[in-house]
Structure formats: structure tokens, C-alpha cells
A and B are shown apart, each in its own frame.
Chain A
Amino acid sequence: MQLLIAADLGYGAAPVLRDVTLDVESGQRVALLGRSGAGKSTLLAAIRQALLDRGLRVALVPQDHALVPQLSALHNVLMGRLDDHGALYNLATLIRPRRTDRAAALKVLARVGLTPEAERPVEALSGGQKQRVALARALYRGGDVLVADEPLSAVDPVQAQALAGLIGTTFPTSILALHDVSVALTFATRLIGLDGGRIALDMPAQDAKTAAIEALYAR
């Protein structure tokens, strides 16, 4: 999939990323690396749009979660599939979810370890729990591609590896911004590093050189 061709990305006159060309094959698990401010979120936004333009079903985990704090974790997960149904169906779900929908959403919550929190409003959850709700919403949504911006930043390393595995089995293709290089190395099939407003590194994960990755984070 040729997603971007010589694109300048960013806001206004001074783009964050210049001359970006990106081709992602179906089945790839891509990890985006780079210092904060390197342009990972900008690139992810452009990738998501390009995927949507191709008519693909995309699940998103934004960095700021974009959850509805007043609704329960279960309802936030159920939000993942609102566009599959009409207004009446969704209204009924809001008032009282159908048994099958509820069971499916609870199953996803169980896989991210949030069964006890399912009925609690999201605003009452901790930062790490909120992040897992946001991930569960994307998992429940499912689709061709997952686009996720730091989806594992607030969970502990062991859990991060498990959740990364879950992402790998749920989505055929996934593109994740990750700050934890060790998670990136075990999860991804391809690494893309951003530095200096361009793609500075792009290689299969098994060929990754530690020095090259460290260079991304060096000042």
C-alpha cells in the first residue's frame, strides 16, 4: 500500500516532516521510533487519513485516549462499533446493550485485564487503566489496520509485551508509535525511525542495529 508520496506533513507553513514517502505492506507490524516531538503523531495522523481514503477499516488509539470520561469502560468499548449500526440500534445500546454486544465487549475488557472495572465510569480509572480502555475500544472495533500512538506507555513492561502480542493477533496490519525500544523489537516486523524532520531509519526488525536506534535518541 503506497500511503504517502513525497508528502510534507505538519501544520501551517513549517512542516514537521518533509518529503515523506511511505509504503506499508499488508501483514507488516510497524513500530515508529523517535524522540518526542520528532513527528510520530503527525505521521500517524497522515497514515490514518491515507488508510481511510483507501476505504480500509482503521482502529485508532490516540495518545490522549479520547474517551468519554462520564461513560463506563464497557460503554467506551462499545463505542468502537457505533458506525456499524444505525441511530436506533446505538440508542438502544446506550440505554441497555444487547447481550451479544455486551458479551463481546466484556471479552475484550477481560483480555486487557479490566473485567472488574467494566461498569465503572472511565473518569474513576487510573491513567494506565484508561489507556487499556482506549486499547480495548480499538480491539473491539477490529479492522484491517491498527494505528496507535503510544498505546502501551502507561502499562508495566510485562503487560506491555502481552498487550503487544494481543495487538499482533487481532490486526493483520498495525502501525504503532512506541517509546519502549525493547517492546518495539519483539513486537514489530519493521522499524521506522524519525529524526531531523525526515525518516532517518527504515529496516526490518530482525536487522535492527542497536547503534542505529540509539542514534535516533542522541542529541
Chain B
Amino acid sequence: MRARPITRRGIVAGFLIAGLVCLPFADLTLAGNDPWAALSRMGMGFLSPDFGAVERIMRAIALTLAFAIAGVAGGAVAGLMMAPFYRLRPVRWLAIALRSVHELFWALILMQITGIGVTTGILAIALPYAGIFAKVLSEILDESDRRPSDWLGARVDPLSRFLWARMPLARREMATYTLYRLECGLRSSAVLGFVGLPTLGFQLDSFFRQGNYAAAGAIMAVYIALIATIRLWMRPHAVWAWLIAAGIVLVRVDAPPMGQGALWRFLTSDIVPAPLLQGDPAGLGPWLWDLVAGSILPGLAATLVVAQLALILAGLVAFCGQALIVPRVTGRLVAIPGHLFLVVLRSFPEYMLAYLFLQVFGPSMLPAILALGLHNGAIIAHLLGRQAGGLALRADAPRGLTLWGWEIVPRLFGQFVALCLYRWEIIIRESAIVGILGVATLGFYLDDAISQLRLDRAVLILLATGMVTVAIDALSRFLRSGLGAGRLRARAASERGIALAAEAPG
């Protein structure tokens, strides 16, 4: 028995207090923008999409698809090769290192080595995804039935054992998970455009810069349709056709060539701390202090402020929204559009949401908090809502708000807290990322260091970001296990829970 057990209410109260403490430090100003004018311009654009720029739109969409398919395929294959060996420490650590760096950060770093080209785009998705795939696929393998493998006895070689008695048992769940990852990959690929790759984000950004809201509306409409219909066009027997198509599209991209020896220069000179490179080891201390006090600590503080407030918002959205899609609570007239609303918010990349909010509200923490809160809140609400719809209710159960308050909230509260804790890690990671848009979180300092070509600083900031991610991961796991491990297993469980929820028609 634990002396002071962690209760769900205690956790919620703790996070609310943390949010309140963060509030005074949050920069929520509107930065002199007139949000309503911007919003109405944007709304008009989205309501009257202009498909006139069809060539550019289709090219951006095709490239977004191609990068996503190639990147996810690369990550899946690499992850599958690591999965059987995930128990080995070097493999596990490699996977953790790969996935603790976000795909946008990977892209920023890789650009210094492979340039703004196809290799960067594919690797930026494939590398972190390989780390995620390795972990999740190894879990799927571990959970699958071991008895056929045991039957084979000790003399069968490992490859035959894997291909005959392990892989077939896990194949279906692996395919489901890969499809879910492709959906994530479409988001990642679109967002990579914001750092310069020729995908959707790039095209969207240039439309916005030209004030061409109607074309921006058109490209968003196509993108949403693409994500919503993923299960119609991505079929198991079409995988090879899609891979070949992606290859053809990507081969035709021409990018500025990188000079010879870029990787060597990156490893031996670019990322070596400047004082060491200049032969001044004594300067290392001040250099490090300047970096920690001037970039890492302020960036970390801003990241945490954004993340905690976004988590509170996500919790609110989820807490209220979980009943939105249950017809017994809100009625069918609200439940169906509510469902659509949550699905759209969920399938929109949070980075792109933050970008859109930034156009509306101007640069401050507000766009980031809104984007992360709404997106993650919608994910949790959608998952909980599906569960709420499946709850076994007695025949004389109440309807409306009474049902929400007396049945849904108490029965799903454990799930709610566990899912929020799980999204917490993701929100922190994403808070660091949105810094690239100009909010002063860790991503801002990283982007800044890279644009000044001070890659030694950038790599250290990246390292710090990765360590924060790992630390939050451990803290979240500790809190969740304090709540009882049975409620929701490790992150992959809920990640796959999301995958399963996303898989069902809706």
C-alpha cells in the first residue's frame, strides 16, 4: 500500500493549480491585430475556395502524399526490423533517441546535411517514425499468441520462427497501426512544408503571404478530404502501387545540390561547440552558461507555460466534448455535427492550426495554446465519446445532462485522466515545436540557432528538448502507474486505442 495514494482528483487539482501558476507568465496579447477582420477574411476564403491555382494545389498535395507514403514506409520497415530486438538495450535506446526528436526538428537538422531535398523530407518522417514503430510493433509482437512459436521447439531457426509463427499472428494489428501512422504521416508531411519542403504547408504559407485566402481554402478542403477518405484509397492490395507512385513523384523533384562532404563537415565542425573549435577550451563554460541561461531555460519555461495551459484547455474541451457526440445526451441534431467538428479538429495537424490562429491573433502564446488545446481536446473527447456511446446503460437511464453528469463523467473519469496524462507528453513536445512559428518556446531558440548557422548550439538545445520529453514521459508513466496500471497501459496502448478508434467508420 502506498502511504499517500495518487488520486485522480488529486492529479486534476494539481494540473489546475499548475495552470493557474502559469497564467501570469503567459503572453496572451493580441499583438495589435484585429482578429475579427483576419478571421472574416479567412472565413470568406474557406467558404469560397478558389481552385484556379489547381496546378500548384495538386502538386503540393501529390508531394505531401508522396513524402508521407515514402517516409512512413521507410519508418515502418526500419521499425519492423528493430522490433524483434527491442529488448536489447542498444536497440531500445536508439529507438528512444530517434522518436524523442520531432519530425520538424529532424527536418531542420537534416537540411544542414542533405539540403532542402527529397532525402531530408523522407528521413525527417522515417527516422522518428522508425523509433515509434520499433516500440509499438515490438509490443504488438509481445502481446500476440506465443503458443505456435513454442510448439516449434528449440531447433527452428529464428527467422523461420519469426516469419511463420510470430509475424502472421501480429500482421493484422500491425497493418491497422501502420494505416493509423500513415494518417499521422500525412499531417507530418504537410507540416514539413512550413520549414521549406515543397509540401502542402509551403504552398499554404505562400498563399497566405499573397493574401490569396480563397486558394488557401481550396488547398485545405482538398487536404481534409484526403485525410477523411484515407481508408477508401489506402487499401492493402494498393500499397505497392502507392509506393511506386510516390517514388515517381519524388524522383521528379529537383532540389539544389548539396556540396560534397556535408555530413562530414556537420559531424566534425558544425556541431562541435564553438570554443572547442577555436581552440579555447576555457571558453566552454561561459559558452555553455550563455546557452543555458539565454536559450534553454527561457525556452523551457515558455514551453511549459504553453503546454500546461494547453493541457487545461484540452481537458476542458474533452470533459465537455465527450458527451457532444452521444445522441442520448445532446440529441441527434447536435451529435452528428459535433462528431464532424471533433473529427476535423482531430485530423488537422496542430502545427497547422497554430499557424492559422497565428494569422488571426498575431504572434503570442495564444495561438499555440488554442491550437494545442483544441486539437488534443478533440482527440480525447472523440475517444471518450465513442466509449460513452458504447456504455451499457440500464433501460431507465436518464437522458441529456443528467446522463452526462451521473453516468458518463463518473464512469469515464479514470479514462479521461489517463488520456490527458498521455496527451500531456505529446502537448509538451508540440509546444516546443510551435516555437518555429515564433512563439518563444524551445523550438524558437532552436530555429534561431539554426538560422544563424550556430549548429553547435542547435544540437545542444535539441538534446535538452529530447531530455525534457523523456523526463515528462517518465513522470507521466509514474502518475499513471500510481493510478493503477490496469486503467490504461503504456502510451502505445492509448496510441493504438486512438488508432482503433480512428479505424472505425466515422
Binding site for B on A (CB under 8 A): 52, 60, 62, 64, 66-71, 75, 79, 82-83, 85-87, 90-91, 94
Residue of B nearest to A85 (CB): B160
A62-B147, A70-B172 in contact; A87/B165 too (CB < 8 A)?
A: no
Q: List 5 A-B contacts (CB under 8 A).
A: A68-B169, A79-B165, A82-B161, A83-B152, A90-B160
B residues less than 8 Å from A66 (CB atoms): 145, 147-148, 150-151
B293 interfacial by beta-carbon distance below 8 Å: no
Residues on the A chain within 8 Å of B171, using CB: 70
Question: Which of chain A's residues have a CB closer than 8 A to the CB of B151?
Answer: 60, 62, 66, 79
* B165 pairs with A83, CB closer than 8 A: no
Chain B residues positioned under 8 Å from A67 (CB to CB): 148
B251 at the interface (CB under 8 A from A): no
Structural contact, B156 and A83, CB atoms closer than 8 A: yes
Among candidates B150, B164, B169, residue contacting A82 with C-beta atoms closer than 8 Å = B164
Convert B400-425 into 0s and 1s, putting 1 for each residue whose CB lies closer than 8 angstroms to a CB of A. 00000000000000000000000000
Among B151, B168, B171, max chain A CB count under 10 A is at B151
CA distance A91 to B155 in the complex (A): 16
When the two chains form their complex, are residues A68 and B163 in contact, meaning their CB atoms are under 8 A apart? Answer: no
Q: Which residue of A lies closest to B150 (CB)?
A: A66
Residues of B within 8 A of A94 (CB): 163-164
Does the CB pair A71–B152 fall under 8 Å?
A: no
Query: Which chain B residues lie closer than 8 Å to A85 at the CB level?
Result: 160
Give min CB distance, B301 to chain A, whole Å.
51
Top 9 closest A-B pairs, CB basis?
A66-B147, A90-B160, A83-B155, A87-B159, A70-B168, A66-B151, A83-B156, A87-B157, A68-B148
B157: chain A residues at CB < 8 Å are 86-87, 90
Indicate the member of A62, A83, A86 with the most B CB atoms within 10 Å: A83
* Count, chain B residues at interface, CB 8 A: 21
Residues from chain A with Cβ under 8 Å of B163 in the complex: 90-91, 94
B153 within 8 A of A: yes
- A44 to chain B minimum Cβ distance, whole angstroms, is 13
CA distance A64 to B169 in the complex (A): 15
5 more CB-based (< 8 A) A-B contacts, given A68-B148, A70-B169: A52-B153, A70-B172, A79-B148, A82-B152, A91-B159
| CB-based nearest A residue for B172 | A70
Of the candidates A62, A67, A68, A87, the one having the most CB atoms from chain B within 10 angstroms of its own CB is A68
- Please, how many angstroms separate the alpha-carbon atoms of A67 and B165 in the complex? 8
A64 and B147 form a contact (CB under 8 A): yes
Contacts of A70 in B (CB 8 A): 168-169, 171-172
Contact A68 B164 (CB under 8 A): yes
Contact between chains at B147 and A71 (CB < 8 Å): no
Closest A-chain residue to B146, C-beta based?
A66
* Bound-state Cα–Cα, A187 to B161, Å: 34
Chain B residue at smallest Cβ distance from A60:
B151
Q: Which residues of B contact A68 (CB under 8 A)?
A: 148, 164-165, 168-169
- Which residues of B sit under 8 angstroms from A83, Cβ to Cβ? 152-153, 155-156
**Residues of chain A lying within 8 A (CB to CB) of residue B150:** 66
CB of B162, distance to nearest CB on chain A (Å)? 10
> Nearest chain A CB to B151's CB is how many angstroms away?
4
Task: Give bound CA distance, A62 to B147, whole Å.
Answer: 9
Tell me the complex Cα distance, A69–B151, Å.
14
Q: Which residues of chain A have C-beta atoms less than 8 A from B168's C-beta? A: 68, 70-71
* Cα distance A82–B171 in the bound complex, in angstroms: 20
Question: With the chains together, A79 CA to B157 CA distance in Å?
Answer: 12
Cα A52 to Cα B155 in complex, Å, equals: 11
**Closest B-chain residue to A76, C-beta based?**
B148
Min CB distance B141 to A, Å, is 14
Chain B residue at minimum C-beta to C-beta distance from A65: B147
* CB closest chain-A residue, reference B161: A82
Q: In the complex, how many angstroms separate the beta carbon of B175 from the nearest chain A beta carbon?
A: 11
Chain B residues whose CB sits within 8 angstroms of the CB of A62 once the complex forms: 147, 151
